[in-house]
Amino acid sequence: MKTLFYSVQDFERNYLNKANTGHDIHMKEDRLNTASAVLANGYEAVSAFMNDDISAAVIEQLHASGVKYITIRAENYDNIDIQAAKAHNIRIAHVPTTLPHSVAEHSMAMILALNRKLLLANKQVHEYNFSAGSLIGTDLYGKTVGIVGTGKVGCIMAQILHSFGCQLLAFDEKKNTLLETRYKIKYVSFDHLLEHSDIITLHIALNDRTHNMIDGNAIDKMKKGVMLINTSRGSLVNTREVIRGLDNGTIAFFGTDVYEQERGLFFYDYSEHPAKYDVLLNQLLNRNNVLITPHHAFATNETLQHTAQATFHNLDCWQKNIHNANEITGNTSYSNIHPDALI
């Protein structure tokens, strides 16, 4: 199947080439948007990345170019207008079984780095400052951690945090009884979680209901000195309100692998021309109690290999006209997957 891959990162190329099952593929660094959609003229399928624009306008252009299939190299597909795709008879598939350990482990690394002030410690040592007065942290043992979303990643987070001796609260529409039994996790209301958690970590999908769920009202309910971690989607939080929470001390630490305005910014090197126009991002970057990583929590060898293989599996199924469990046929946006058993 002739397929155009958009937004191909250098670190993806080898994985994609190795996983290719015989398709005629062409890779572009260009992001998929209204300007670049014309590049797909003559292609049966396109493969998009998590920050590509797959809005109704783009889908209309892809349809006009003859595209019949879109496979996204990600689990979440909140950037795709599913209704527009259905209206133009374009079939969509994603990677629903993204390995959860990579994101959960990254989240835990952020918690540990912020709590023990590792970035500041590393900076001091490189300056031959070996004093420890500014590096005092706290034990995680006995702390209350609120897990927002107990899908696959949330399950792994519960497992990791339980091993540290943390008390676990959770907010989700569906309870995982195995988490309750094995890790003594307690399902509570969102407000209760905000009010009682020393650390809050977000592992929930982005949709109309969760957009900016961490807003000024939510932050005002949090314990003073809370740590907030987000490795899910940038728009789960209102960045301006998070900065206000950092200013008034409600939020003592903020770790994020994602950003509200990351599209067109993350995954690209602007070191020679810093994006100084982004005032809010710069306000975050200038703080010692904020840790930002460039949306690479997923980036492990295992996950990249799995994603590439699943992408070509999607193309194989369409080419052979066989059932594909990865295909998106529902009317709703991505929501958490609740496993029947722990991974």
Clarify whether 295 is annotated catalytic.
yes
Query: Collapsing DSSP states into helix, strand and coil, what is residue 25?
Result: strand
Q: Where are the alpha helices (DSSP H) in 101-151?
A: 101-115, 118-126
Dist CA 304 CA 299 (whole Å): 6
Handedness of CA 308, 53, 96, 46 (dihedral sign): negative
Q: Which residues contact 26 (CB under 8 A, 6 or more apart)?
A: 2, 3, 4, 5, 43
29 classed as catalytic = no
Determine the residue type at 50: M
- C-alpha closest to that of 279 among 260, 294, 293: 260
In the sheet that holds 91-93, the strands lie side by side as 25-27, 3-5, 45-48, 69-72, 91-93, 327-328
CA 152, 156, 161, 166 dihedral sign is positive
User: Measured between alpha carbons, how far is 308 from 58 in angstroms, rounded to an integer?
Assistant: 23
Please state, in angstroms and as integers, the Cα–Cα distance from residue 49 to each residue in 58, 125, 335, 336, following that order: 14, 39, 18, 20
Q: Which amino acid is at 47?
A: S
327: annotated active-site residue: no
Choosing from 31, 73, 106, 295, the catalytic residue is 295
Catalytic residue among 44, 241, 260, 262: 262
From the candidates 63, 233, 306, 313, give the one annotated as an active-site residue. 233
Catalytic residue numbers, as ranges: 233, 262, 295
